[in-house]
Amino acid sequence: MAGLKIGFFGFGYVASTFACGLERIKAGEIDLTGIPLENKIPQHKVEDIEVVCGFDVDKRKTGKTLSSAIQMYPELKDMKAFEKIKIFKGINLNSTEGMPFEGEGLDHDKSLEECAKEITEKIIELNLDCTITITATEPIVDVDSVDELEKIIKDNQKDKITASMFYAYCAFSAARKRDRGIVHINGIPSKVANSPVFVELAEASSSVLIGDDISSGQSRMLSDLMEHYKEINRKILSAVGANWGGNMDFYRLQDEKRNESKKVTKTGCAQDILGYDLPSDIKPHGYLAPLGDKKAVFMHFPMKLFNGAEDEIFICGRINDSPAAAGMLVDMVRLGAVAVSQGEKGVIAPINSFYCKWFGKQHSKILAYQELMGWLGKK
Amino acid sequence: MAGLKIGFFGFGYVASTFACGLERIKAGEIDLTGIPLENKIPQHKVEDIEVVCGFDVDKRKTGKTLSSAIQMYPELKDMKAFEKIKIFKGINLNSTEGMPFEGEGLDHDKSLEECAKEITEKIIELNLDCTITITATEPIVDVDSVDELEKIIKDNQKDKITASMFYAYCAFSAARKRDRGIVHINGIPSKVANSPVFVELAEASSSVLIGDDISSGQSRMLSDLMEHYKEINRKILSAVGANWGGNMDFYRLQDEKRNESKKVTKTGCAQDILGYDLPSDIKPHGYLAPLGDKKAVFMHFPMKLFNGAEDEIFICGRINDSPAAAGMLVDMVRLGAVAVSQGEKGVIAPINSFYCKWFGKQHSKILAYQELMGWLGKK
Amino acid sequence: MAGLKIGFFGFGYVASTFACGLERIKAGEIDLTGIPLENKIPQHKVEDIEVVCGFDVDKRKTGKTLSSAIQMYPELKDMKAFEKIKIFKGINLNSTEGMPFEGEGLDHDKSLEECAKEITEKIIELNLDCTITITATEPIVDVDSVDELEKIIKDNQKDKITASMFYAYCAFSAARKRDRGIVHINGIPSKVANSPVFVELAEASSSVLIGDDISSGQSRMLSDLMEHYKEINRKILSAVGANWGGNMDFYRLQDEKRNESKKVTKTGCAQDILGYDLPSDIKPHGYLAPLGDKKAVFMHFPMKLFNGAEDEIFICGRINDSPAAAGMLVDMVRLGAVAVSQGEKGVIAPINSFYCKWFGKQHSKILAYQELMGWLGKK
Amino acid sequence: MAGLKIGFFGFGYVASTFACGLERIKAGEIDLTGIPLENKIPQHKVEDIEVVCGFDVDKRKTGKTLSSAIQMYPELKDMKAFEKIKIFKGINLNSTEGMPFEGEGLDHDKSLEECAKEITEKIIELNLDCTITITATEPIVDVDSVDELEKIIKDNQKDKITASMFYAYCAFSAARKRDRGIVHINGIPSKVANSPVFVELAEASSSVLIGDDISSGQSRMLSDLMEHYKEINRKILSAVGANWGGNMDFYRLQDEKRNESKKVTKTGCAQDILGYDLPSDIKPHGYLAPLGDKKAVFMHFPMKLFNGAEDEIFICGRINDSPAAAGMLVDMVRLGAVAVSQGEKGVIAPINSFYCKWFGKQHSKILAYQELMGWLGKK
């Protein structure tokens, strides 16, 4: 099978880890641990994936190669292949406001229309099979129709659109123009796969849209624990799902507006599964730089059982954010490509339910896995 | 639907909680929390269950009513119905050796054959639909054939048989004699439902056998967590599943031989689900009287993920042993009765997998739940 | 020794628990557990303390007896003595704004001067030896001089003074007027014992001032853990000290301004002891009604040790807020009375350091205990 | 000030970490974190310490240099100075029985008397200021008098003496022979500093004896937490202090007899501090190789407070065994040398109480620290 060419919108720690892990696997240094489906997808082996480029707005990275990004993360290992991976200027749209580095986007001196043209052409030129948005969390912005979206871009209304929306637009524009579908993954908690507008764009371009937000850590565990307790009919009395971290995502969540999007995603999940209202505090709680990408997590559930008795569970630990997401993405790009090649388009429910966070009424990941296996013909 | 008459072999905290919770439900004091299937089994409502008698070897209880047992547990509420529930002498077979109370069984002055006759007749006389063995954990004893079992009883070889084996024998003898099947549940980690001998006796008497050991607490949670991590292809490096409690089961586990049976049950589960060898320490760890029936639990799992990163999870809490088991039993007696009335016999896999611990290659409870729903025609 | 007459400003769960525990001790129902110095203070036995009255602004309590308050807390036990304890109207000053009950204070239809006169006279009339402010947390307000404070009251500037300031003013006014010192305890994190103005008022009236905020739970444990690690020269990398609760104090902390005062108190402590800047998130994190007065706590400390190694500690649990504080208060009222009778006045450092939170540069409670023992002549 | 020459009996992970950390400090690579007194002991700077030799019975190490040991621990860094540190054959006395490597001691072909002579002469020849025993935990053996000890050695009764006893004997023999005191530290939980026989030998040779067992991790934290709760008069109801690890010490504790010595040390401490009997399970619980030297710990304390309320604390974490002990040893060798130079001899209580585990009635480490500061003239 031919390779899968991947481009990242946002070349931070997740993208760097994805590229680094893949190279180490190809070099035989590490095994497939942390990639859910390993090499059980017959159409695409893990080793078929090739990171081809990135787009970013951090001035320390743009115009350079992946090696420049890797050097910012001492725990990642620089490798020869990284010299081939270019990082182009992406779209900023104020997304670097308040961040501890200087931002530099195409939009600093170009209109939205010019930016869209440039990024779309780059996707076509590099013949990308899959694009992945994995920038820091944005405030949620919504758009009502494809027409409205196109008007915003045409009229250069930079305050009515976010980077993740813009990137999705470019991906599907490229697919339509080249007349070959693309897999686009929105890996952050903005409204793209959950927006009818972008689903329409995906379908119109024979493309597959996966997202929003990757379910890889605490919220994933929470969903399966809620299913576990629901099946034995426990009554959860309250729920804490707190975490603290030191990566750029936590840095940005210090801005309360951005944290709101995380909170919505996470609380809904527990209630959807349990089927009743649950007093809860489930969200990222703070930025503590020394924790780095390995966040500290805490969960607490008191619950009722038979004859009025009360159990109580506390969970704590350290959980890597980016390697967990990167491992999931290794599956998502391949499953998306399988779907495109089978002529499926839009949002593919069995993929979305297992790998992502926020899509309609949620159910547990263990049940979503059964659905995914069915879709894959494994059951 | 007619009522379901239940008899307990071992009238300790689980049986007392079962009876107490049922009465409080019937009185409208509490809801169905902690009973997995609530009133979703059309053939038998929770309120149809009636505890009719118990058999025990604690001299403070035998020959009295349930009220005498209830008074030993200040957190349980004495109710009028308990005056109707008689506690008869059961079989001891040294099972009270080393326990902090005086034992008194039928076998103190009778042969095994006489004891079997007496208990069997009582089951028939009281017209029991279901018998449940829920004594403290025993050392594991095995038997090779029905013939051997019958010879042991005939020859009065009291050291070759345990109480849980003896009770199962009586239950199926009664069913055969009266020509109506019974549901027998072995709620402790001895080898009954896992013994071909007792499965044969169940089938020969058109009876249903459920067991062994009720999966209600830490091991249940462990199985679903292992499934959770397996599905995202984490490599668990080691596992601790420790607990400390103050009930009679922990008291007895101070005897190292008895603890072995718990250890076997629990470690196997994690490995069966994960599919690889796992250095682990999963078993009850100590008796601490002040903890009572609400055990303190601790779990620890370090694990590898993508690109060599390492996550680590600690779980701690307080977990009630007996109310959790009692809530499960409320389902088990009803599902067993459904099976008997449908002409099914022996061990019913979908019931056993979801409610019990030790039966063949184990899989997670969340998956077992899907099977059970299928069997019940709910899917 | 004669009795100690106590009046509470704020008759919530702490005051109710204090009164209830004392009565149960007098009745021989419970022992002295949770009272640090038990009956080791020769001048005043625990049983000498008598709760004489309360002041509150909750319309469900004012004008009634303690029994009306006790009935709001089903876990407290109503007793005959509670019929003797009257709850008078206190001062509101908008302190009930946003609370889930109707407020009713003396200030609703009286000037500050009239209110002060009424409360002061009540203190004299009832011959109180000790007054204790233990209302929900307030926003921090400061005052620069005794003159300014008196002007605020005279000019009826209700927005320049908080209830805890007003109550302290009344207590010391009463002491001066009757020419006998009083013990006044400010049990909440406002600036009273930490304000030179109120220290001046205490000294001028031969009174003892203790406060601010009672150190009874997580922050107390945190201070001793920091001392523990400092002495073995560990480098704490970051600190989380989070808690969630369901009592009125947590309810009110949903108002971000009030939470600020808690945060200041708590973070400072760790840094004072360690002697270096510590990235930390130490504060109440959320209101979850089902937790009630027994808050859920979580702490996390990664730390460096010899040769660059890194340890990591997670602490979680459930901690009662009010009974812990009430036990401390049983000591504080007696130690304050000892100080007054010895002619000491103002803030008594050895008492403050051990029992309170916020006073100058903080050190660990274990060291403060040594100082307190010295002051008591026990060493 | 002149250097301090150190020799290790047992050159495992603690000794290797000690040597490695010191070299890295001398090279300016790391700071003094984890060394409790840093450079606050005026007589001896950290950098004055020099590791001169080791004695071991692991065939992979004996006769080689420290570099051979360092290579067994990939997380330690080999450095040039390690080529100068020789590892000689030590005494085995069956201590390697059941260990996963081949043992080779002087006693394999020599009498105890010959072995003692050889080791004693080596101590004199190398002019050691301090010897440290830090082998894996031994079964406890006791001896009644100096005469009996000398007779055991003379009569070559290898089953009546353990390696740690033998090494202490050699150290003090060398001191007496050369007429200059030595510091001997027994870092394992055998009975040396706690034996009147070895105290007598230390005093007779103007030497200082420190031990037994280094208090560096969970038991140290436990002692300070018990002090914390005692001072606020909490009633601890039960205590779990469990840990699992993968180093050689845990490997050896799989032998139940050796684990007994750990259990005695640890449980006593909590009870000594609290002053009442405490149902507890405090000891190492299991060997799990993947945990390595960084053990997983768990503690649990339910407790009563005022008015019958109940708090509950769970502590979990990962704790390095060897670097913690090594950091303590950096102080102990220097404080011992200060004592010798001041003419003190035998066991020095303020040193022992703060750094070691098992010596008479125990009190908390925070209080021991105050004593130590007094002895050092810092207060």
For residue D55, the tally of other CB atoms under 10 A from its CB is: 29
Model confidence at D264, pLDDT cuts 50, 70, 90, reads low
Here the tokens at position C288 are 């979850």
Whether residue A164 contacts residue A190, with contact meaning beta carbons closer than 8 Å, is answered with yes
Model confidence at A228, pLDDT cuts 50, 70, 90, reads very high
How deeply is C277 buried, as exposed, middle or buried, from its count of CB atoms within 10 A (0-12, 13-18, 19+)?
exposed
Q: What pLDDT was estimated at residue B136?
A: 83
Residues of A in contact with C242 (CB under 8 A): 242, 285, 298
CA distance B112 to B144: 19
CA distance D97 to C334: 62
Q: What pLDDT was estimated at residue C256?
A: 65
Q: What pLDDT was estimated at residue D258?
A: 58
Nearest CB among D246, D279, D296 relative to B288 is that of: D279
Query: Chain C to chain D, count of Cβ pairs less than 8 Å apart?
Result: 182
Model confidence at C309, pLDDT cuts 50, 70, 90, reads very high
Q: What pLDDT was estimated at residue A140?
A: 84
> Which chain D residue lies closest to B235 (C-alpha atoms)?
D290
- At position B71, the amino acid (one-letter code) is Q
Model confidence at A262, pLDDT cuts 50, 70, 90, reads low
Q: What pLDDT was estimated at residue A365?
A: 86
| Sequence-distant (≥ 6) Cβ neighbours of residue C376 within 8 angstroms | C37, C41, C335, C350
- What 3-state DSSP class applies to C102? coil
Least confident of C18-22, C217-221, C225-229: C217-221
Model confidence at A197, pLDDT cuts 50, 70, 90, reads very high
Q: What pLDDT was estimated at residue D216?
A: 87
Q: Give the residue ranges of DSSP H helices in chain A.
A: 13-26, 66-70, 112-125, 146-154, 163-178, 196-204, 218-231, 248-253, 256-274, 322-341, 349-355, 365-375
| Structural element, H or E, at residue D224 | helix D218-231
CA distance D202 to D170: 11
Nearest CB among A238, A244, A288 relative to C291 is that of: A238
Residues of D in contact with B237 (CB under 8 A): 290
Q: What pLDDT was estimated at residue D138?
A: 85
- Residue A265: pLDDT over 60: no
CA distance A174 to C228: 61
Query: Chain A to chain B, count of Cβ pairs less than 8 Å apart?
Result: 181
Average pLDDT over residues A358-379: 80
Q: What pLDDT was estimated at residue C294?
A: 96
| Sequence-distant (≥ 6) Cβ neighbours of residue A235 within 8 angstroms | A276, A303, A304, A305, B33, B34
C98: left (phi over 0), alpha (psi -120 to 50) or beta: left
Q: What is the mean pLDDT of chain D?
A: 92
Q: What pLDDT was estimated at residue C248?
A: 85
Q: What pLDDT was estimated at residue B2?
A: 64
Model confidence at B270, pLDDT cuts 50, 70, 90, reads confident
**Is residue A366 less than 8 Å (CB to CB) from chain B?**
yes
Cα separations in angstroms, B283 against B263, C366, D296:
5, 37, 16
**Is residue C367 less than 8 Å (CB to CB) from chain D?**
yes
| Structural element, H or E, at residue D177 | helix D163-178
- Residue D266: pLDDT over 60: no
- Residue D267: pLDDT over 90: no
- Residue C139: pLDDT over 90: no
How deeply is B71 buried, as exposed, middle or buried, from its count of CB atoms within 10 A (0-12, 13-18, 19+)?
middle
How far is the alpha carbon of D362 from chain B, nearest alpha carbon, in Å?
A: 23
- At position A216, the amino acid (one-letter code) is S
Q: What pLDDT was estimated at residue C126?
A: 97
Q: What pLDDT was estimated at residue A263?
A: 56
CATH of C218-320, one of 3.30.360.10, 3.30.930.10, 3.30.2320.30, 3.40.228.10: 3.30.360.10
- Residue A254: pLDDT over 80: no
Model confidence at B94, pLDDT cuts 50, 70, 90, reads confident
User: Whose CA is closest to B44, among B372, B354, B337?
Assistant: B337
Average pLDDT over residues B46-61: 96
- Residue A379: pLDDT over 70: no
| Sequence-distant (≥ 6) Cβ neighbours of residue D75 within 8 angstroms | none
Which subunits sit against A, judged by 3+ Cβ pairs under 8 A? B, C
User: Whose CA is closest to B134, among B368, B345, B362, B328?
Assistant: B328
Residues of C in contact with A281 (CB under 8 A): 244, 285-286, 288
Model confidence at B267, pLDDT cuts 50, 70, 90, reads low
Give buried/exposed letters for B302-316 (b at 16+ CB in 10 A, else e).
Answer: bbbbbbbbebbbbbb
Q: What pLDDT was estimated at residue D175?
A: 98
Which CATH number applies to B4-214+323-377? Answer: 3.40.50.720
**Is residue B27 less than 8 Å (CB to CB) from chain A?**
no
- Residue B365: pLDDT over 60: yes
- Residue C254: pLDDT over 80: no
- Residue B265: pLDDT over 60: no
- Residue B9: pLDDT over 60: yes
| Sequence-distant (≥ 6) Cβ neighbours of residue A284 within 8 angstroms | A242, A243, A244, A245, A249, A250, A253, A259, A262, A295
Q: What pLDDT was estimated at residue A309?
A: 97
Rounded to whole angstroms, the maximal C-alpha distance in chain A is 68
More confident residue, B253 or D344: D344
**Is residue D38 less than 8 Å (CB to CB) from chain C?**
yes
How far is the alpha carbon of B364 from chain A, nearest alpha carbon, in Å?
A: 10
Residues of A in contact with B73 (CB under 8 A): none
| Sequence-distant (≥ 6) Cβ neighbours of residue B96 within 8 angstroms | B57, B58, B102, B103, B105
- Residue C138: pLDDT over 90: no
Q: In this structure, what are the phi and psi dihedrals at residue B365, rounded to the nearest 5 degrees?
A: -70, -30
Percentage above 90 pLDDT, chain A: 74
Query: Chain A to chain C, count of Cβ pairs less than 8 Å apart?
Result: 75
Here the tokens at position B51 are 């505890």
List, edge to edge, every strand of the sheet that includes B130-133.
Answer: B86-89, B49-56, B4-9, B130-133, B183-186, B208-211
User: Tell me: the pLDDT tens digits for D81-122?
Assistant: 999 999 999 999 877 777 888 888 999 999 999 999 999 999
User: Tell me: the pLDDT tens digits for A43-72?
Assistant: 999 999 999 999 999 999 999 999 988 988
How far is the alpha carbon of C236 from chain A, nearest alpha carbon, in Å?
A: 10
Q: What pLDDT was estimated at residue B248?
A: 85
Would strands D86-89 and D235-236 be described as parallel, antiparallel, or unpaired?
unpaired
Residues of C in contact with A285 (CB under 8 A): 240, 242, 281, 285
**Is residue D367 less than 8 Å (CB to CB) from chain B?**
no
**Is residue C305 less than 8 Å (CB to CB) from chain D?**
yes
Percentage above 90 pLDDT, chain C: 74
- Residue D213: pLDDT over 60: yes
Q: What is the mean pLDDT of chain A?
A: 92
Which subunits sit against B, judged by 3+ Cβ pairs under 8 A? A, D
Whether residue B357 contacts residue B45, with contact meaning beta carbons closer than 8 Å, is answered with no
Model confidence at C267, pLDDT cuts 50, 70, 90, reads low
- Residue A94: pLDDT over 80: no
Average pLDDT over residues A305-325: 97
Q: What pLDDT was estimated at residue D199?
A: 97
Model confidence at A202, pLDDT cuts 50, 70, 90, reads very high
Model confidence at C195, pLDDT cuts 50, 70, 90, reads very high
Domain ranges (residues) in chain C: 4-214+323-377, 218-320
**Is residue C310 less than 8 Å (CB to CB) from chain D?**
yes
> Which chain B residue lies closest to D291 (C-alpha atoms)?
B238
Q: Give the residue ranges of DSSP H helices in chain C.
A: 13-26, 66-70, 112-125, 146-154, 163-178, 196-204, 218-231, 248-253, 256-274, 322-341, 349-355, 365-375
Here the tokens at position A39 are 């090499």
Whether residue B242 contacts residue D298, with contact meaning beta carbons closer than 8 Å, is answered with yes
Average pLDDT over residues B287-313: 96
Q: Model-level pTM?
A: 0.94
Q: What pLDDT was estimated at residue C207?
A: 98
Whether residue A303 contacts residue A229, with contact meaning beta carbons closer than 8 Å, is answered with yes
Average pLDDT over residues B139-152: 94
* DSSP code string of A55-93: EE-BTTTTTSBHHHHHTT-TTS---GGGGG-EEEE---T
| Contact call for D224 and C221, based on CB within 8 A | no
CA distance D124 to D159: 27
Model confidence at A306, pLDDT cuts 50, 70, 90, reads very high
Dihedral angle over CA of A358, B315, B235, A354, nearest 10: -20
ipTM for the complex shown:
0.93
Nearest CB among D228, D235, D318 relative to C311 is that of: D318
Model confidence at D360, pLDDT cuts 50, 70, 90, reads low
Least confident of A311-320, B18-27, C270-279, D41-50: C270-279
Dihedral angle over CA of B144, B149, B155, B160, nearest 10: 60
Within this chain, domains A4-214+323-377 and A218-320 share the same CATH topology: no
Here the tokens at position A208 are 């597959």
- Residue D344: pLDDT over 90: yes
Interface test with C, best of A300, A301, A303 (most C CBs within 10 A): A300
Percentage above 70 pLDDT, chain D: 94
| Contact call for A36 and B315, based on CB within 8 A | no
Cα separations in angstroms, B5 against A137, B2, B23, B104, B333:
59, 10, 14, 25, 9
Q: What pLDDT was estimated at residue A367?
A: 85
| Sequence-distant (≥ 6) Cβ neighbours of residue A20 within 8 angstroms | A70, A76, A77, A79, A82, B307
Peptide bond into C147 cis (omega under 30): no
**Is residue A362 less than 8 Å (CB to CB) from chain B?**
no
Model confidence at B266, pLDDT cuts 50, 70, 90, reads low
- Residue B15: pLDDT over 90: yes
Here the tokens at position C242 are 């989070």
Whether residue D79 contacts residue D113, with contact meaning beta carbons closer than 8 Å, is answered with no
